[in-house]
Amino acid sequence: MANVEIIGFAPSTYVRVVRMVCEEKGIAYDLKPEPPHSPEVAAVHPFGKIPVMRHGDFCLCESKAIATYLDRTFPGPSLMPADPRMAALAEQWISLVNTAMDTTLIRTYLFHYIFPKTADRKPDRVGIAAVAPAVRDQIGILDKAVEKTGHLAGDQFTLADINLMPILFYVRQFPEAGEAIAATRGLAAYYDRHSARASFKNTIPPPPPAQQARAS
C-alpha cells in the first residue's frame, strides 16, 4: 500500500494534528511542504486550505476528515473511544477546540503577536489586551475539562487531545496564555504529560516566522 502523503507546511496546527495521528498509529507518511492555496493544495481542497492528503489514488481534505480516515483505515491503537458516550464527548471537544478555541487562541490571540496588522508590524497590544480575558476564560474551561482524568474525553488519549495539543504548544509560549496555563491545576500537568509522547516530540514545528517579536 502506498505511503500516506500529507501536504501542507509543518507550522500549521492542523497539519500537525494529522501528523500526530500518523505517529500514534505507526503510519508511514511523507510530509510535502506546501502553503495554502498552492496549486497542489487547491487541487484537493476547494478553498485551498491545509492539510490535504493523498493515499494512493484517494485524496482528502480537512484535518478532521483526514484524521478519522487514518484512524479507521490503519491498524494500531484506536484514537476514538469504543464507548458511544465517550466517543460523543471526544467529538464534542474536537468541535469546541476547532471552532471556539482555535478562533480565540490561534486566529486572534496568537496572530496578534506573529501576524500583527499594526503599522510597525510589532505585536498588536490593543488587540492582545482585548482578547486576553477570553484567553484566560478558555484556558479555565480546558483546565476544568482535563482535571479529573488528564484527558478531554474519558481516560484515554484521543483525537480530541491531538487537536488541542498543537494549540497549547504555541500559546503557552506567549505571556498572557503562558502565565494562565502555568497557574492551572490540571492543564499544566496535562500539557507536560502529553508533550512527552513520541507523536508530539516527532512533530515539533520550526519557530513561527515572527516568534521573536513577542518580546518586543
Q: What is the pLDDT of residue 61?
A: 98
Query: 3-class secondary structure for the chain?
Result: CCCEEEECCCCCHHHHHHHHHHHHHCCCEEEECCCCCCHHHHCCCCCCCCCEEEECCEEEECHHHHHHHHHHHCCCCCCCCCCHHHHHHHHHHHHHHHHHHHHHHHHHHHHHHHCCCCCCCCCCHHHHHHHHHHHHHHHHHHHHHHHCCCCCCCCCCCHHHHHHHHHHHHHCCCHHHHHHHHCCCCHHHHHHHHCCCHHHHCCCCCCCCCHHHHHC
Q: Is the pLDDT reported for residue 197 higher than 90?
A: yes
pLDDT digits (tens, 9 = 90+) for 16-55: 999 999 999 999 999 999 999 999 999 999 999 999 999 9
Sheet holding 29-32, edge to edge: 29-32, 4-7, 52-55, 58-61
For residue 215, pLDDT over 60 is answered with no
Average pLDDT value for residue range 176-198: 98
Predicted TM-score (pTM) of this structure? 0.94
Q: Which residue has the cell 496572530?
A: 111
Q: Which position has the grid cell 516530540?
A: 201
Model pLDDT, residue 209: 54
> How much of the chain exceeds pLDDT 70, in percent?
95
pLDDT at residue number 207:
78
Question: Percent of the chain scored above 90 by pLDDT?
Answer: 94
Q: What is the pLDDT of residue 41?
A: 97
Taking all residues of the chain, what is their mean pLDDT, rounded to a whole number? Answer: 94
Residue 73, pLDDT score? 97
Same fold, 4-73 and 84-215: no
What's the grid cell of residue 160?
480530541
User: Contact, 122 vs 216, CB < 8 A?
Assistant: yes
According to the model, what pLDDT value does residue 130 have?
Answer: 98
Class of the 84-215 domain? mainly alpha
Listed by start position, the domains of the chain span: 4-73, 84-215
Per-residue pLDDT of 86-131, as tens digits, reads: 999 999 999 999 999 999 999 999 999 999 999 999 999 999 999 9
Handedness of CA 190, 70, 138, 84 (dihedral sign): negative
Residue 169 has pLDDT above 80, yes or no: yes
In this predicted structure, what is the pLDDT of residue 214? Answer: 40
Instruction: Name the CATH code of domain 4-73 (choices 3.40.50.1440, 3.40.30.10, 3.40.50.150, 3.20.20.210).
Output: 3.40.30.10
Quote the pLDDT of residue 213: 40
* Per-residue confidence band for 212, with pLDDT thresholds at 50, 70 and 90: very low
